[in-house]
Amino acid sequence: MKQLLLAGAGHANLHIIKEWKQNPIPDTALTVVSPSPYQYYSGMFSSFTEGIYNMEDIRIDVKALTEEAGGTFLQEAIMSVDGSQKIVLTDQGKVFGYDAVSFDIGSLTAHTELPGVKEHAKRIKPNYHFPEMIEEMRNSTNPVIVGGGIAGTEMALSLQAYRRRHGQKGWVSLITSSDRLLAQQSNRVSNKIEEITEEAGINLYVDQQVKSIDKQAIWTNRNEAIPYDDVLWLTGPKAPDLFRVSNLPIDKDGYLQVESTLQVKDYPSIFGAGDCITLSNAPNLPKNGVFAIREAPILWENIRGFLTTGDGRHYKPQQRYLSIMSIGNYTGFLMYGDIVLKGKWAWKWKHHIDTTFIQSYQF
């Protein structure tokens, strides 16, 4: 019997588990390997932080979902891969063979090698650490978030909304090394979100690159000491070490290099999707879950074709995509190209999209 191994339970691999339940690949066993039995949906992290969602609202029971589909779930992490021998080694010292393997393990957090970061800063990746970290940030007297991208800005606004609603003293601070928030977006988008952030009462430190963290303060390139009680590190994505140590084809940053079929060119039995990969035909694609959702059905069809006799499909990422941030108080901030809109209706739209997605994997 052939063996399909799913490493991680991101959007694309979850789709495979769901499809497997309805239409399994003949003469093939399914095994899912993940370090946690739950997958937490990052799209709902901000509203969880604000207290709108509870734990059960934002997580998927991957173990139960896998077993319901007739597969085997292993609570382990893959540490290395031998693409030639088609085997993986886990953190439990076990070796597993595969006929096809799909990596959807997400990314890690960048710049954690700076002095004091690993000792003093909280991180939410891998994402099963998220609930514990947020509870500590909620109760902090002086919480600081480092990172002015979508994740950091969204988290700062949601945390501020929670603290105001619960009458907590002290304000959230947000530090970014860029000269504006959401630097990957247009100036118009940045100006609007900075206005919203300042109206929320957040202490905003722009163009401040963190150099180190000690027990009392965060030190920046301006030799400024920013005091904190708790600091959450949200400084963008970093490639997992797995692909580098396994000597698999990677891009300059260490992400798994895959072709438009979502396969590794030199090892066609290895597939990948989501934030852990770089596409050869779109190397500058942002690490954003919206692409993994679109990759999912193509990944499933191509894995099925590889293990049987079917043809594959090519993934071509969309040029523009909708993004909605949750910015506190049941309010959304919608971005589509240079279009930017704010309102309660935008949050309701995001709520509908997110809850529809996660409920499709809950039972």
Higher confidence at residue 319 or residue 303? 303
Output the DSSP codes for 193-239: HHHHHHHTT-EEE-S--EEEE-SSEEEETTS-EEE-SEEEE---EE-
State how many domains the chain has: 2
Checking if the pLDDT of 170 tops 90, the result is no
In the predicted structure, residue 33 carries a pLDDT above the cut 90:
yes
Nearest Cα to Cα of residue 273 among 15, 36, 19: 15
34, 127 in Cβ contact below 8 A?
Answer: no
Q: Tell me, what's the pLDDT at 229?
A: 94
Q: What is residue 255's predicted lDDT score, i.e. its pLDDT?
A: 97
Pairing of strands 38-40, 59-61: antiparallel
My answer on whether 80 and 141 are in the same domain is no
Inform me whether the pLDDT recorded for 190 exceeds 80: yes
Number of C-beta neighbours around residue 320 at 10 A? 8
User: In whole angstroms, what is the distance from residue 87 CA to residue 99 CA?
Assistant: 9
pLDDT single digits (tens) 126-138: 777 788 889 889 9
**247, 154: one domain:** no
Question: Length of the chain in residues, anyone?
Answer: 363
Tell me what pLDDT residue 90 has.
Answer: 97
Where does the pLDDT of residue 11 fall: very low under 50, low under 70, confident under 90, or very high at 90 and above?
very high
Residues 6+ apart with CB under 8 A from 132: none
Banded pLDDT at 169 (limits 50, 70, 90): confident
Tell me which of 83-97, 122-136, 146-160 is least confident.
Answer: 122-136
Residues 185 and 276 in one domain: no
Per DSSP, what are the bridge partners of residue 87?
A: 82, 97
The parent domain of residue 294 ranges over 2-35+76-107+239-307
Is beta strand 2-7 parallel, antiparallel or unpaired with respect to 100-103? Answer: parallel
Q: Are the C-beta atoms of 199 and 329 separated by less than 8 Å?
A: no
Task: Indicate if 222 and 328 belong to the same structural domain.
Answer: yes
Whole-angstrom Cα distance, residue 193 to residue 275? 25
202 and 345 in a single domain? The answer is yes
What value does the mean pLDDT take over residues 62-90?
97
Among 99, 28, 17, 102, residue whose Cα is nearest residue 62: 17
- Same-domain check for residues 196 and 228: yes
pLDDT, position 48: 95
- Based on the fold, state whether residues 260 and 332 are members of the same structural domain: no
Each residue's pLDDT tens digit, 13-32: 999 999 999 999 999 999 99
CATH number at residue 154: 3.50.50.60
pLDDT score of 129: 75
Place of tokens 């991680």: 8
Residues 161, 186, single domain; the answer is: yes
pLDDT at 333 (0 to 100): 97
Q: Strands 237-238 and 100-103, how do they pair?
A: unpaired
Under the banding of pLDDT at 50, 70 and 90, the label for residue 199 is: very high
d(CA 220, CA 177): 9
Q: How many CB atoms lie within 10 A of CB 77?
A: 18
Based on the fold, state whether residues 189 and 299 are members of the same structural domain. no
- The pLDDT of 28-37, averaged and rounded, is 96
What is the reported pLDDT for 140? Answer: 92
Q: Among 116-120, 185-189, 248-252, where is mean pLDDT lowest?
A: 185-189
What is the rounded average pLDDT of the residues 168-194?
Answer: 92
Task: With H, G, I as helix, E, B as strand and everything else as coil, classify residue 68.
Answer: helix
Judge whether 284 and 184 are in contact, CB under 8 Å. no
Domain shared by 182 and 125, yes or no: yes
Q: In the chain, how long is the greatest CA-to-CA distance?
A: 63
Tell me, yes or no, whether 43 lies in a domain: no
Q: For 328-363, how does the pLDDT look when each residue is reduced to its tens digit (9 = 90+)?
A: 999 999 999 888 999 999 999 999 999 999 999 987
* Residue 71 domain-assigned (yes or no): no
| Mean pLDDT of all residues belonging to the chain | 94
pLDDT at 290 over 90: no
Burial of 319 (0-12, 13-18, 19+ CB in 10 A): exposed
- pLDDT value at 310 more than 80: no
